[in-house]
Chains A and B, each alone.
Chain A
Amino acid sequence: MNMSSAHKSNLGWSAVGAVCAIVLALLWAAPLLWALSTALRPELETVSADFHWLPQAWTLDAFRKTLAAGNLLRWLFNSALVALSVTVVTMAISLMAAYAFSQLRFRGKGILFALAMLAFLLPFEALLVPLFRTMNQLGMINSYAGIVLPQVVSPVVIYVFKQFFDEIPADFREAAVMDGAGPLRVLWSVYLPISGNIVWAMAIVTFIAAWNNFLWPFIIVTSTDMMTIPLGLTQTYDAFGVRYAQLMAAALLGAFPVALAYILFQKKVTQGFLAASGLK
């Protein structure tokens, strides 16, 4: 068989690429795999001078001890509650706001929208101090409401929804108006069902972001039992001391919910993150 030089060269590149891909994939999977390997071995083995990639003695001891230590489950519960609340509230208020911006006509719409989008420019980090003071005055330090509320302001989500709503042909809204639907009805019965996919995508992304949020809970939470997973995991040194099998077990357990969400909804997560970054 006679191959063109271009074809040959392409095969060459393919081989290089395959090697690259395998190497990179191994490199990227390695830390988590190593964490897993560590978590599945007895504590003594982790610090022994005799190094092994795989556990010599397989055991679920670390996981058991970690869960029994009491706080991890509490942290998982807190994270779940906070992340779900943030997601539900953010979706609700963002859908309503995006619909108003996209489909309704009212005075000052342009200014209001520009103002909301201004929040893109100002990083959350700059607001930590005054937010803390405000929460203090409202008595919401170290409370679920305190953790959740500042996180529901999401111009990104509103922007994504508004863009999407803008693309929906106006005919559907007009037909619904002719059928006698008011603005809220149109949102609920027409726009929401049509937007199913993108709403799921943004919901999952919001959930992951809320679960992983470190900075704000770090500022607002003052007691161990109110901590979310990202916070709690930093307390593990105090909880377990320097016991790496348990630390890795804790890390993996803390990562499990969001990792699962990603594996189950890979396409939606990808779609959501891309939409949030302003590309399609």
Chain B
Amino acid sequence: MASVRLRGIEKRYGDNLVIKGIDLDIEDGQFVVFVGPSGCGKSTLLRMIAGLEDISSGTLELDGKVCNGVEPAKRGIAMVFQSYALYPHMTVAENMGFALKLAKVPQAEIGERVRRAADALQIGHLLERKPKALSGGQRQRVAIGRAIVRKPEVFLFDEPLSNLDAALRAQTRVELAHLHRELGSTMIYVTHDQVEAMTLGQKIVVFNGGRIEQVGTPLELYERPANLFVAGFLGSPRMNVIPVTLAGEEGDAAVVRLPDGSTAAVAAGAGRLAPGAALRLGLRPEHLRLASTGFGATVGLVEYLGDVTLVHVQVPGVDGMLAVKVYSGGPAPASGSRVALAFDPARAYLFDESGAALSSTTAHAAAL
């Protein structure tokens, strides 16, 4: 069992508390993604799990055993660095076999394991080359191979795709997913790219400012964000946010007043909030429609992307532009024209002043 348990993990640099109390459970075999903006602490946390940084307080359990002070090599963990960190003076084979050599594994077995890992990653023909003779993608495979060879309980990935070009990134993403299916090991993957998070993660942990904002599957995080931060972080273009006030309730739904004075229904519970309370309405670009009736907006920029067109509109009373996704076949209005926007109440979100989401009242949400 290669489970990972974090309880009350904190990290201090001098007087500065950068990781502010993390509780997290990762089951054996899960592919977990740590995602968040730069400086949020996700890499620091990864390095604490690896043993490269000390844990100021809290406990880290690997496989049920506390290993706060245990040396990295003895934790059953292998890490793939963002820069790959391949030893420049060693061949690919030596790079991959270094850890085994240090562990005094017999030479024959080292050769065997290195060859098998190299073949699996299709770099078997590169074993005698030095890192500087390899392309970025090849180096990355060597870095992964170096980790595989050690047969670790947990794989750690620190932004492994950020040094690759877009095409290679997409391809490698698929291969990583494949690798996880093959090996079935626990994998913790750090990235700032939400696309990688959504596509690779079985479980996503969203970090911000040293705290966990939300943990869940990609679906849960995308469709039921717990707060404004998560809502805005996942999804591209970002979720549109409109300041509204609570007008009242109508059965299951809350009614909000938009900046232009009109009202709209949202399938969320107002809870104990009184009418007049300041709220924020969240609408993903794909959930906004150009309709015949709705609240008014002026078209600003229109971006044609092939399969979808992004229409950026200006709504009175709202800072910044809202984005509307219009799929091919739909009308693409001219810049400067006036349009009306409508949305499905079940696809809208409400957030209170602190940014927390109001609970959804749709059957859809109940099913999640």
Direct contact of A and B (CB under 8 A): yes
Which residues of A are interface residues toward B (Cβ below 8 A)?
A: 169, 171-172, 174-181, 185, 189-190, 193-194, 196
Distance in angstroms between the alpha carbons of A169 and B82 in the assembled complex: 12
Q: Knowing A180-B73, A193-B89 are in contact, say whether A174-B81 is a contact too (CB < 8 A).
A: yes
Residue B261 CB within 8 A of the other chain: no
A194 touches B83 (CB 8 A): no
A180 touches B83 (CB 8 A): no
Residues of chain B lying within 8 A (CB to CB) of residue A181: 73, 98, 102
Residue B88 CB within 8 A of the other chain: yes
Q: Taking the nearest CB of chain A, how far is it from the CB of B47, in angstroms?
A: 8
Distance in angstroms between the alpha carbons of A119 and B63 in the assembled complex: 52
Q: Taking the nearest CB of chain A, how far is it from the CB of B139, in angstroms?
A: 12
Q: Taking the nearest CB of chain B, how far is it from the CB of A117, in angstroms?
A: 25
B73 touches A172 (CB 8 A): no
Select from chain B the residue with minimum beta-carbon distance to A185. B102
Select from chain A the residue with minimum beta-carbon distance to B86. A175
Residue B77 CB within 8 A of the other chain: yes
Distance in angstroms between the alpha carbons of A178 and B46 in the assembled complex: 13
Q: List 26 A-B contacts (CB under 8 A).
A: A169-B83, A171-B81, A171-B83, A171-B85, A172-B85, A174-B81, A174-B85, A175-B79, A175-B85, A175-B87, A175-B146, A176-B87, A177-B52, A177-B72, A178-B50, A178-B52, A178-B73, A179-B98, A179-B102, A180-B71, A180-B73, A180-B74, A190-B87, A193-B87, A193-B90, A194-B89
Looking at B85, B87, B102, B103, which has the most chain A CB atoms within 10 Å of its CB? B85
Residues of chain B lying within 8 A (CB to CB) of residue A178: 50-52, 72-73, 77-79, 99
A179 touches B89 (CB 8 A): no
Looking at B87, B146, B150, which has the most chain A CB atoms within 10 Å of its CB? B87
Which residues of B are interface residues toward A (Cβ below 8 A)?
A: 50-52, 71-74, 77-79, 81-83, 85-90, 98-99, 102-103, 146, 150
A194 touches B52 (CB 8 A): no
Distance in angstroms between the alpha carbons of A185 and B71 in the assembled complex: 15
A-B pair number, CB within 8 angstroms? 60
A177 touches B81 (CB 8 A): no
B87 touches A180 (CB 8 A): no
Q: Taking the nearest CB of chain B, how far is it from the CB of A186, in angstroms?
A: 10
Q: Knowing A171-B81, A171-B83, A174-B81 are in contact, say whether A194-B88 is a contact too (CB < 8 A).
A: yes
Q: Taking the nearest CB of chain B, how far is it from the CB of A104, in angstroms?
A: 14
Distance in angstroms between the alpha carbons of A171 and B43 in the assembled complex: 13
Instruction: Please list the 10 inter-chain residue pairs (A to B) with the smallest Cβ-Cβ separation, ordered nearest first.
Output: A180-B73, A179-B99, A171-B85, A175-B85, A193-B89, A180-B102, A178-B72, A171-B83, A178-B79, A179-B98
Residues of chain A lying within 8 A (CB to CB) of residue B82: 171
Looking at A189, A193, A194, which has the most chain B CB atoms within 10 Å of its CB? A189
Q: Beyond A177-B71, A179-B102: 11 further Cβ-contacts under 8 Å?
A: A171-B82, A171-B83, A174-B79, A174-B85, A176-B98, A179-B146, A180-B71, A189-B87, A189-B98, A190-B87, A194-B88
Residues of chain B lying within 8 A (CB to CB) of residue A179: 73, 98-99, 102, 146, 150
Distance in angstroms between the alpha carbons of A175 and B72 in the assembled complex: 10
Residues of chain A lying within 8 A (CB to CB) of residue B71: 177, 180
Q: Knowing A172-B87, A175-B85 are in contact, say whether A180-B79 is a contact too (CB < 8 A).
A: no
B87 touches A174 (CB 8 A): no
Distance in angstroms between the alpha carbons of A112 and B270 in the assembled complex: 64
Residues of chain A lying within 8 A (CB to CB) of residue B89: 193-194, 196
Q: Taking the nearest CB of chain B, how far is it from the CB of A270, in angstroms?
A: 24
Distance in angstroms between the alpha carbons of A102 and B71 in the assembled complex: 20
Select from chain B the residue with minimum beta-carbon distance to A174. B52
Q: Taking the nearest CB of chain A, how far is it from the CB of B117, in angstroms?
A: 14
Q: Taking the nearest CB of chain B, how far is it from the CB of A179, in angstroms?
A: 4
Q: Taking the nearest CB of chain A, how far is it from the CB of B58, in angstroms?
A: 21
Residues of chain A lying within 8 A (CB to CB) of residue B78: 178
Looking at A169, A177, A185, A193, which has the most chain B CB atoms within 10 Å of its CB? A177
Residues of chain A lying within 8 A (CB to CB) of residue B102: 179-181, 185
Q: Taking the nearest CB of chain A, how far is it from the CB of B150, in angstroms?
A: 8
The 8 Å CB contact of A180, one of B50, B99, B146, is: B99
Residues of chain A lying within 8 A (CB to CB) of residue B85: 169, 171-172, 174-175
Select from chain A the residue with minimum beta-carbon distance to B147. A178
Q: Taking the nearest CB of chain A, how far is it from the CB of B285, in angstroms?
A: 39
Select from chain A the residue with minimum beta-carbon distance to B88. A194
Residues of chain A lying within 8 A (CB to CB) of residue B81: 171, 174-175
Distance in angstroms between the alpha carbons of A72 and B82 in the assembled complex: 59
Distance in angstroms between the alpha carbons of A181 and B73 in the assembled complex: 8
Distance in angstroms between the alpha carbons of A177 and B150 in the assembled complex: 14
Distance in angstroms between the alpha carbons of A67 and B270 in the assembled complex: 105
Distance in angstroms between the alpha carbons of A181 and B87 in the assembled complex: 13
Residues of chain B lying within 8 A (CB to CB) of residue A185: 102
Distance in angstroms between the alpha carbons of A174 and B71 in the assembled complex: 12
Distance in angstroms between the alpha carbons of A36 and B102 in the assembled complex: 56
Residues of chain A lying within 8 A (CB to CB) of residue B52: 174, 177-178
Q: Taking the nearest CB of chain B, how far is it from the CB of A56, in angstroms?
A: 57
Select from chain A the residue with minimum beta-carbon distance to B50. A178
Q: Taking the nearest CB of chain B, how far is it from the CB of A84, in angstroms?
A: 25
Select from chain A the residue with minimum beta-carbon distance to B143. A175
